[in-house]
Structure 1
């Protein structure tokens, strides 16, 4: 069994921090290798070059132009790279907002992902309050956040916390101020067998 773990959520929720903390415990518990694929690391420099050429703003990751023309190819490349690692028997932790894919349930779709029944799929939705996320975004001084911050009312419309049917099968993790016990529970939930996963 190879493990595929998606760490999803909006900006400022702490997805990358959680993902990095998960690598060692997951390797220890499974005895297998894991790689971490962060969308910003994989595509950040490419997106900067493309958006710089197209708009003169290399830090734009939220304008309609980016969302309509670059977002989906980046995510598809992320999934393709994930699949190649899984085929080699390497577990993968994928980091990215993936909010649309969560809403549309694509991360549960093995055909869309291109993975077989030998892959255990877990989707963690990392969340915190809008105020906490905003404060974290301001504090990290990442130039890629400039569009978000200057268009916050527009950006916040895209923020959602899955509920109802959209929440089914997700591991919800409140990353406002998690305790060690809460993080240990997250590790257990990620590794817990799920029927028909």
Structure 2
């Protein structure tokens, strides 16, 4: 039974770092191969070229021009690549904010995902307080964050924390200072 595991959350929460840390232990715990699909790795260079052509700024990953022209095709391609691996029986870790899809409960909808029926889906919502996420974004110094940082007040209006009562399909992971017990509990939840 292939697994589709999403690591979602806002910028700076540590989605990629957490997924990279868990993929080896997850393969060991399940005995299954996994493919790791990070939206930024898959589409970063393409987006840079496209945004340079559209806005003149190759590092723009959050302006209205990016959101209107590239955001949805990137996510569609990410999910198409996940589906292709799942159809081959390969489990997949997908890394990306996917906040619109979370809000619409789409990542828990097998019909919307169009994935093999036997696929086990898990969705991890990686979160941090806003001030810590903001500080981490500044510390990492990624040029792709420049637009977001320059327009933080506008960006922060899109940040939200899903209510567990309204989003029971999510596995919540507070990435502020997780200990070994929290990380092991997450690994158990993902490998069950």
Q: What stretches of structure 1 of length at least 5 have no aligned partner?
A: 193-197
Within 5 Å, give how 1:1-197 maps onto structure 2.
1-163=1-163, 165-192=165-192
Distance, in Å, in 2 between the alignment partners of 1:164 and 1:98 is 17
Secondary structure of the residue that 1:126 maps to in structure 2?
strand
Distance, in Å, in 2 between the alignment partners of 1:109 and 1:102 is 11
Distance, in Å, in 2 between the alignment partners of 1:147 and 1:166 is 31
- 161-170 or 43-52, which deviates more: 161-170
TM-score normalized with structure 2 length: 0.98
RMSD: 0.9
Shift of 1:166: 3.7
Q: What stretches of structure 2 of length at least 5 have no aligned partner?
A: none
Distance, in Å, in 2 between the alignment partners of 1:72 and 1:87 is 22
Shift of 1:164: 5.0
Distance, in Å, in 2 between the alignment partners of 1:138 and 1:151 is 13
Contact between 1:49 and 1:58, CA under 8 Å: does it hold in 2? yes
Shift of 1:57: 0.3
Contact between 2:164 and 2:170, CA under 8 Å: does it hold in 1? no
Contact between 1:103 and 1:166, CA under 8 Å: does it hold in 2? no
Contact between 2:6 and 2:122, CA under 8 Å: does it hold in 1? yes
Q: How many residues align?
A: 192
The CA deviation string for residues 75-94 of structure 1, in whole angstroms up to 9 with x for no partner, is 00000000001111111000
Shift of 1:117: 2.4
Shift of 1:29: 1.1
Secondary structure of the residue that 1:148 maps to in structure 2?
helix
Contact between 2:7 and 2:126, CA under 8 Å: does it hold in 1? yes
Shift of 1:165: 4.8
The CA deviation string for residues 138-177 of structure 1, in whole angstroms up to 9 with x for no partner, is 0000000000100000000000010155421100000001
Distance, in Å, in 1 between the alignment partners of 2:64 and 2:99 is 16
TM-score normalized with structure 1 length: 0.95
Distance, in Å, in 2 between the alignment partners of 1:126 and 1:10 is 8
Distance, in Å, in 2 between the alignment partners of 1:164 and 1:22 is 23
Distance, in Å, in 1 between the alignment partners of 2:52 and 2:12 is 24
